[in-house]
Chain A
Amino acid sequence: MFQRLPDAGDLAVAITIDGKPVKARAGDTVAAALFAAGIDHCRTTPVSGTPRAPYCMMGVCFECLVTIDGVGNRQACLVPVQEGMSVETQRGKREIGR
């Protein structure tokens, strides 16, 4: 559970997370925006279906895999948010066709 410091600046970028509208700060990565929105986990594992959340925030652990604008298995901690971006958390294996 994370919160922004009071003087952290405007939340000017509108994205959706699993269809719900969320405001992010320009310069946030998708993973940061997920934390700020109080999303507890961003995927469940393909092997046992247990929930996982971003762990390293620097591109090495691959725990932060989400679907961004229809493309699956993107590293949320490396992708900056963009206006209108659609982020979906992932359940288990990537669905066919993504």
Chain B
Amino acid sequence: MSAVNEVRDSYDVAVVGAGPAGLTAATACAAAGLATVLFDEQPAPGGQIYRAITQTPVQRASILGNDYWYGARLVRDFQASRAQYVPGATVWSLSREREIGVSTGGAARLTQAKRVIIATGALERPFPIPGWTLPGVMTAGAGQILLKSGAMVPQGRTLLAGCGPLLWLLAWQYLNAGVKIDAILDTTARASRSAAWPHAPAFLFSPYFRKGLRLMLSVRRRTKVIAGVTGLRAEGNSRLQQVAYRTADGAEIRLPADTLLLHQGVVPNVNLAMSVGIEHRWDDDQLCWVPVVDGYGGTSVDGVAIAGDGAGIAGAWAAEERGKLAALAAIRALKPDTRQDILPDEANIRLALAKVERGRLFLDRYYQPAASFRIPRGDTIVCRCEEVTAQQIIDTVALGCTGPNQMKSFLRCGMGPCQGRLCGLTVTELMAQTRGVPPAEIGHYRLRPPVKPITLGELAALPKDEAAIKAVVRG
């Protein structure tokens, strides 16, 4: 454990996030003798994919599966390295000069790095259906985190709904743990499936193909899957009581439910990268903002790279390789005379990367969620923090708002504590649809530091030098 006062004034390399990309990046940089720190918001290393891998209370290894336990190696290598690990640390600001504001345990510090590698990974795509704010409704990822980190599983009537690999993986893990799943409401869109077929041949050679198929068959054998779901509603009085769903043939059906786990894919967690002004583009396959990066994760901001799913969704195995590539660029820049045998082996990395990225486009297209699940209407809540509905946002377009930044000054949408993480994509697509222009033209919220709320007390407790005062004034 490392407290905030162990954070030094400067480092060669600062890595943010301890998932596969952050772990391999920090390990490689430290191996080359660079003074390396890894800041992680979670209490233990592994990111979300290998969450709690050093301390999970899940006893039977077969519940979580081999692909989870594989992550232990990455953590072991990292722990054996000389990189400093700061868990429970929230990075709330990053400047173009690579000054980092970080808080842990209620105290804040500023530190400086020659290179920054952002490895903040992915978050689940918003799933704005009516009733998604009711207690009893949560993301499939949240359900999986409770399983990995607390050996906790839903009790009572349990429904999973949505589309994407994580939904099936969670179902498989729950069934392995003996959880009864009442039904999986599969929202995979017919149009997306057909759009994916041209890319199927490439996917046959993906390591994900056989695994995915086996897992889905195993789930289908053991639980009821309702395919072709085109509408979903969570209902209840102050907590979830039932889920109403609709399929293509129109009839609405209600299922009683205590827990509804929602998932429709993951998207890059862009807040920190956007706040430092890194250029992003709209990705028409993944339907989200993706930072513009070079072959080593380098961005439009000098000395700041992005590795892993934060640079575009490609999965955990790719993240591991992309972390090494970002490290390689940092080592070459800061210690060009590093011996070849200490440097990550680029040829090998590129080979491994090509293998795991093969057929990715098939997955992206196949699981592209239907517009009706991405772009809500009426009084469905879009911004959970400020309780702003789809219709309210549509109305601001009629008032002349062209993008999220004008809109938010009317509605406070996106200005709550989550800072647009749970509504940003919905707002962009909703405004694009209403105005009849591409999402790229609408843009995203302008994000500024602090990218996570911090208290005045934390700021006031900063060591009072000029940098500290500057940070507060700028913030």
Contact = CB atoms under 8 A, between A and B. Distances in A.
Interface of A: 1-5, 7-9, 25, 27-29, 32, 35-36, 40-41, 45, 47-48, 50-63, 65, 71, 73, 77-80
B453 interface: yes
Q: Is the interface of B mostly helix, strand, loop or mixed?
A: loop
Nearest to A33: B150
Nearest to A69: B106
Contact of A55 (B138, B259, B269, B386): B138
A40 B135 contact: yes
A80 B123 contact: no
Q: Is the interface of A mostly helix, strand, loop or mixed?
A: loop
Nearest to B238: A51
B196 interface: no
Given A55-B139, A58-B123, A2 B146 contact: yes
A79 B238 CA distance: 26
A58 B150 contact: no
A81 to B, nearest CB: 10
A47 B137 contact: no
Contacts of B138: 53-57
Given A40-B239, A54-B138, A58-B142, A5 B152 contact: yes
Nearest to B44: A27
B59 interface: yes
Contact of A60 (B106, B146, B418): B418
Size category of the binding interface on chain B = 35 or more
Nearest to A64: B142
A52 B123 contact: no
Interface stretch (B50-58, B78-86, B332-340, B461-469): B50-58
Interface of B: 41-44, 48, 52, 55, 57-60, 88, 90, 106, 123-124, 133, 135-139, 141-142, 145-146, 149-156, 177, 238-239, 258-259, 269, 384-387, 416-418, 421-422, 453
23 contacts: A2-B153, A4-B150, A4-B151, A5-B177, A7-B60, A27-B43, A28-B150, A32-B150, A35-B150, A36-B150, A45-B387, A48-B387, A50-B133, A51-B135, A52-B133, A54-B142, A55-B422, A56-B142, A56-B422, A61-B418, A61-B421, A62-B385, A65-B417
A78 B87 CA distance: 10
Contacts of A41: 135, 238-239
Contacts of A32: 146, 149-150, 152
B306 to A, nearest CB: 17
Given A2-B154, A45-B387, A73-B453, 20 more contacts: A3-B153, A3-B154, A4-B151, A4-B152, A4-B153, A8-B58, A9-B57, A27-B55, A32-B152, A35-B150, A40-B239, A41-B239, A51-B135, A55-B138, A56-B123, A56-B142, A57-B139, A61-B421, A63-B133, A71-B106
Contacts of A40: 135-136, 239
A21 B387 CA distance: 33
Contact of A73 (B155, B417, B421): B417
